[in-house]
Amino acid sequence: MTTRDDEPEVDPRLAAASQALDDGDFEAAAALARKGARAARRSEQPGLAADLLWLEGMALTELAEAAAAVARLDEALALAPDHLDAMLERAFALFELLRFEEARRQLEEALGRAPDEAWAHQQLGLLAERRGDLAEAERRFTRARKLDPRAFPRPAAVSRAEFQRLAEAALEEIPEPVRRYLANVPITVEDLPSDDDLGGSDPPLSPTILGLFRGAPYGQKASADPWSHLPSAIVLFQRNLERAATSRQELEEQIAVTLVHEVGHFLGLDEEELTARGLD
């Protein structure tokens, strides 16, 4: 059966899960994809089941359930070993889990099938950057940008001195009653979060985080958090923030939002409370 454009009709289960993903309802997307994949397997439609498992993997990654996402994507690739989208999503989930070497191998396999896949080049650039190979990282980023300039625009890069100036300006915009609490909390700038930054929680923090609060929140004693025994500090990650912006104005806005977010953590607000206050 075809549509009026003579294109194959999309399976309604696939369409429903895809729409939920597009709408940002990731829990619904995961549930719809899971149910659809089971039905597709029962009706011996391995290609459709693989597509639905891939969508479920995407939704689970968005829900910060990267380990479950990898399991679903493994199932997808068992059914359809050449499923490029499942390979790319699996690599991304592995990256989120800090399983960097596995992610690299998966991306290299994907590029073996599709040498001009921009997302694979971009992700390999992120991996090269983390291991300190900046020449390889820039080569990969440039390739991704050439292949898909809309998805991978040039970052809003500035010097470290200029970035610090922008951070100081953002700090000045925080209301003075709040700023008083930060008198002994340095605002520092680093290129990227370290493995220690990311691996201190379960699940780990994303390597693409824009900022981090280290230490115990204001008025609280040290906890099991590995950073809580250190002096309080707010860190902004310059390379990740630059990638999140395509202009100087956007960079200024991202720095300001990230700084306020981390100040919220310093004041003891969790992610749900930050979201409720519009600080996510």
Average pLDDT for consecutive 10-residue bins of the chain (280 residues)? 52 95 97 96 96 98 97 98 98 98 98 98 98 97 98 96 96 85 88 92 92 78 50 91 96 94 75 47
The count of residues in the chain is 280
CATH of the domain at 109: 1.25.40.10
| Gap between the Cα atoms of 182 and 171, Å rounded | 10
261 and 173 assigned to the same domain: yes
Structural domain contains residue 53: yes
268 and 167 assigned to the same domain: yes
At 144 the pLDDT is 98
- Give the residue numbers spanning the domain of 241: 160-276
The DSSP H or E segment spanning 265 is helix 248-266
What is the chain's Cα-based Rg? Answer: 21
The DSSP H or E segment spanning 36 is helix 26-42
CB 191 within 8 A of CB 238: yes
CB 2 within 8 A of CB 8: yes
Structural domain contains residue 60: yes
Residue 188's DSSP bridge partners are: 235
Q: Around 78, how many Cα atoms within 13 Å sit in the side-chain half-sphere? A: 8
Structural domain contains residue 214: yes
At 274 the pLDDT is 41
Number of Cβ atoms within 10 Å of the Cβ of 219: 8
165 and 255 assigned to the same domain: yes
24 and 79 assigned to the same domain: yes
Q: Which two tokens stand for residue 169?
A: 């300006």
193 and 251 assigned to the same domain: yes
| Gap between the Cα atoms of 160 and 61, Å rounded | 32
SS3 117: coil
Task: Give the max Cα distance, the chain.
Answer: 68
At 225 the pLDDT is 53
96 and 185 assigned to the same domain: no
CA 25 to chain centre: 17
At 270 the pLDDT is 55
Q: Which two tokens stand for residue 247?
A: 């202009």
At 4 the pLDDT is 43
Classify residue 267 by its DSSP letter: T
Sheet holding 233-237, edge to edge: 187-190, 233-237, 211-214
At 230 the pLDDT is 55
The reported pTM is: 0.88
CATH of the domain at 269: 3.30.2010.20
Using CA of residue 59, residue 65, residue 70, residue 75, what is the dihedral sign? negative
Q: Which two tokens stand for residue 76?
A: 């997808």
Q: Which two tokens stand for residue 146?
A: 């050439």
At 96 the pLDDT is 97
| Gap between the Cα atoms of 136 and 127, Å rounded | 10
Q: Which of 82, 115, 148 is the last residue of a domain?
A: 115
The DSSP H or E segment spanning 199 is helix 195-199
At 182 the pLDDT is 81
| Gap between the Cα atoms of 6 and 1, Å rounded | 9
16 and 86 assigned to the same domain: yes
CB 100 within 8 A of CB 195: no
